């Protein structure tokens, strides 16, 4: 499992973040259903 140190919850308007590198797209399902979009880890 990935070790994540910080999380940023963005909405419309957050398309790019300086310093975010080595991106990985994760599609997941939670007990509450699927998120509206992929999770981006970098």
Tell me the C-alpha distance between 10 and 31, whole Å: 21
pLDDT digits (tens, 9 = 90+) for 19-33: 888 888 889 899 999
For the chain, percent of residues with pLDDT exceeding 70: 95
CB 35 within 8 A of CB 28: yes
Average pLDDT, the chain: 83
**Could you tell me if 19 and 5 are in contact, meaning their C-beta atoms sit under 8 angstroms apart?**
no
Alpha helices per DSSP H over the chain: none
Q: Which residue's entry shows tokens 């399902």? A: 29
d(Cα 14, Cα 11) in Å, to the nearest integer? 6
39-41 vs 24-26, strand pairing mode: antiparallel
pLDDT band at 1, cuts 50/70/90? Answer: low
């Amino acid at each position: 499992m990935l070790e994540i140190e910080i999380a940023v919850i963005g909405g419309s308007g957050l398309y790019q973040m300086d310093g975010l590198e080595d991106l990985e797209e994760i599609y997941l399902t939670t007990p509450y259903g699927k998120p509206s979009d992929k999770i981006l880890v970098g």
